[in-house]
Structure 1
Amino acid sequence: MKNYKTQMEAAKKGIITPEMKIVAEKEFMEVEKLMALVACGQVAIPANIMHTSLSPEGIGTGLKTKINVNLGVSGDCKNYQQELEKVKLSLKFGAEAIMDLSNFGKTNTFRQELIKLSPAMIGTVPMYDAIGYLEKDLLAITPQDFMRVVRAHAEEGVDFMTIHAGINRRAIETFKRDGRRMNIVSRGGSLLFAWMEMTGNENPFYEYYDEFLEILREYDVTISLGDALRPGCIDDSSDSSQLGELIELGHLTKRAWAKDVQVLVEGPGHMAMNEIAANMAIQKRLCHNAPFYVLGPLVTDIAPGYDHITSAIGGAIAAASGADFLCYVTPAEHLRLPDIDDVKEGIIASKIAAHAADIAKGIPHAREIDNKMAEARRKVDWDAMFEIAIDSEKARAYFESTPPEDKHSCSMCGKMCAVRTTNMILEGKTVAFYSEN
């Protein structure tokens, strides 16, 4: 019988868990080093004891940048089968985490099926689910009701939960005093803001924080401290509301660690490129080097339909500057619930950003796959290139859509291909274009 409740408690006691062994092997890291990082909170291994299909992953210092895929039904789009297809696609392309953000109806049936089949970490935002789960209007929900929903998600096997505990009365006073161009754009944050304003009460996730932590500790659920006051446009970034909440999240991080609950801290949504690196450094300082989970940041506000690109730009800079976990953004952001093609585009963009950042950070073996691609390209080995590519099917389809006359080139350059020309000269051949060699 194990004598620990959470990965953090085990690490503090010097116990190497099976999950730590798996993560250390995946990350090419000595397990003792990983254990020390888990013990001090710089690495989290979200692994609910009820999630038996999980393939554990680590998030944090010295590890590969992980990505999360958001999915789930809404009142306007209630096709659970389509959401399961998105799950399968996410797993196919190597997403390490999936967040079920369903906000309509009885979502637990879908979530239980998701947890049963998914080796990826599963996250939720209990605040989203509260209204449908409880079948109550927002004003009628009590702090005890919120606890019921959190416990239900924990019992189902959710590995990490976004809890917006930092938006307390003090944070709201700052927000209302200073104002913003886009106000509050966090769905969970806006619901809590409304509940607090309508009831006159303190944020229940803040007021009863220790009680929520006890539930999370029981199932080893990682708390993802939500950024309810994240900037929703670049003009609101790095303002008093965002940074004031971040300071509070730093205090909440230490309180969670004191109870052996692992922590992720969530970060900004929209931010100009020149502010990103500084924000990553500030977050790590204020939140004691806890793993940082960022949405984007989206580096401009004028690209609806292309926000997977604005997000990937910001995500690459953020991860290279210290962020550990990227939440994908799809082309449908700000416009609609994403369809399966949107999900694929979002995943690929986020994977590119994460991998590019890992190269920049010098993560062990990150460059190896790029070197393999370079070797395949030097040899003009198309099959090897397709196998290595992040999206093999798309790469092959593009190549075959306009086939080259010479298999040692593509239709872009034909016989003038630089690689072909150089290879021929190095092989002692003559390069000619109007006669056969």
Structure 2
Amino acid sequence: MNYTTQMDAAKKGIITKEMEVVAKKERMEPDKLRQLVAEGKVVIPANKNHKSLNPEGIGQGLTTKINVNLGISKDCNDIDKELEKVQSAIDMKAEAIMDLSCFGKTETFRRKLIDMSTAMIGTVPMYDAVGFYDRELRNITAEELIGVIEKHAEDGVDFMTIHSGINQETAAVFRRNPRLTNIVSRGGSLIYAWMALNEKENPFYEFFDKILDICEKYDVTLSLGDACRPGSIADSTDPSQIKELMTLGELTKRAWERNVQVMIEGPGHMSLDEIAANMKIEKKLCHGAPFYVLGPIVTDIAPGYDHITSAIGGAIASANGADFLCYVTPAEHLRLPNLQDMKDGIIATKIAAHAGDIAKGIPGAREWDNEMSQARRDLNWKRMFELAINPEKATEYRRESTPEDPNTCTMCGKMCAIRNMNKVLEGKDINILRED
């Protein structure tokens, strides 16, 4: 039986090879996964032209996935350095990489990225439009903006952020409800500016059916972008954000009618007490579609440490139903991340995702922690390093500070609680002052 997309196959009762791979990774029965894909509650971003892809699922009942943002800019346009980051992100088992390149002819970098990446690849075609056509934003036509989407699809991009929800109605709500930080989404601000400069409707909303034609042809997953995501905790859960989310829910149903997979993007900056409610609001308004969040960043005062502010929010978001976390690095709000920034962002976000998975009861999540606890009880340092989310750093810390007793660390020495409890329970003397 023929099918056009993963969702089309799922509705027809077909278990694709991608579904089989994902089901095995997730410890889920393939037919259960197929049903979730058919309902739109799980997406498997897998462009037909991305031949090196090792597919992943995002959504209900699955492990929380993380995304790494990369790409060249006008100030930092060294493709080789970005490709080094790509390889490192793949080695660190990031499930997704987004190419956010926004300078010059980006096709070379994008094609190399897709060719080498086993991780799913996302883009924001709006970022590429000015460089693609070498023309100022206001002079690019609606048809040309749609053309960039088609080009990215042809190249093999698995999911695309398309800011379709910032239509004229949403823009009017934004103008009537002033914000502290206005619109901070790069793609959202570009679309808002295009609409204002040309006095026209958002082409990604007006010509949404044309976008669905492209997505259906190549099986591109739509990541419906949150142009009105809050850029400060003062702006979270405001009329603009909620109005856009309502529009995205309507567009989700239209996409599903065409068998196009959809996930929804969300905040942003948000105080801790609002996160759980926001996860529920998205799932309700967008009919259970997977939720992809940036952070949320829970305080605005920590430039240089926003991988931490983001991980705090990400863990709470994941525990309350977020399915996909976009990493944030220490360089957020400050500069293009370097390689170490990227690594720090990946680790922080993976910790947040795993903490959320424990709370959600995802199969295998708590077992990993139990294995680590067993290794600690046994003072099995080798096994601890094998299980660590970042073995390299754990090994380095141990090597840099060597204890007198190899069964302890330099914090407690022979007063180590685990060492002494093991000995006492075995009927032995703990010998704190003497040699064993």
My pick for the range that moved more, 376-385 or 182-191, is 376-385
Q: Counterpart of 1:106? A: 105
1:270 Cα deviation from its structure 2 partner: 0.3
State the alpha-carbon separation in 2 of the partners of residues 434 and 11 from structure 1.
67
- What residue is the counterpart of 2:7 in the other structure? 8
Shift of 1:10: 0.4
CA offset at residue 435 of structure 1? 2.2
Separation of aligned partners in 1, 2:433 and 2:402: 20
TM-score of the superposition, structure 2-length normalised? 0.99
Partner AA of 1:417 in structure 2: C
Distance, in Å, in 2 between the alignment partners of 1:276 and 1:234 is 11
2:369 paired with 1:370:
yes
1:292 aligns with 2:291: yes
TM-score after normalising by structure 1: 0.99
Q: Read off the aligned partner of 1:139 and give its amino acid letter.
A: R
Q: CA deviation at 1:226?
A: 0.1
The CA deviation at 1:433 is 2.4
Shift of 1:88: 1.1
Letter in 2 for 1:257: W
2:139 alignment partner AA: A
Report the count of equivalent residues: 436
In structure 2, C-alpha distance between the alignment counterparts of 1:89 and 1:391, rounded to whole Å: 13
Task: Give the partner amino acid of 2:381.
Answer: W
Quote the residue 2:28 is aligned against: 29
Asked whether 1:231 is paired with 2:230, we answer yes
Alignment of 1:28-427 (within 5 A): 28-427=27-426
Following superposition, the deviation at residue 43 of structure 1 comes to: 0.3
Task: Report the alpha carbon displacement of residue 431 of structure 1 after superposing the two structures with TM.
Answer: 1.4
CA–CA separation in structure 2 for the residues paired with 1:309 and 1:165: 30
| Letter in structure 2 aligned against 1:100 | D
Residues 336-369 of structure 1 show CA distances to partners (whole Å, capped at 9, x for unaligned) of: 0000000000000000000000000000111111
Q: Residue 24 of structure 1 aligns to a residue in which SS?
A: helix
> In structure 1, what residue type is equivalent to 2:428?
K
- How many Å apart are 1:37 and its aligned residue? 0.4
* SS class of match (1:218): helix
After superposition, what is the alpha-carbon deviation per residue over 1:372-431, rounded to whole angstroms, capped at 9, x for unaligned? Answer: 111111111111111110111110111111100111000110011001001111222111
Residue identity in the other structure for 2:183: I
Deviation at 1:75, TM superposition (A): 0.5
Aligned residue for 1:367, secondary structure, equals helix
Per-residue deviation, 1:432: 2.1
CA RMSD of aligned residues (A): 0.7
Moved more, 422-431 or 45-54: 422-431
Percent identity between the two aligned chains = 64
- In the alignment, the residues of structure 2 paired with residue 14 and residue 212 of structure 1 have an alpha-carbon distance, to the nearest angstrom, of 26
User: How far apart are the structure 1 equivalents of 2:428 and 2:381?
Assistant: 22
Q: Unaligned 5+ residue runs, structure 2?
A: none
TM-fit CA distance, 1:144: 1.0
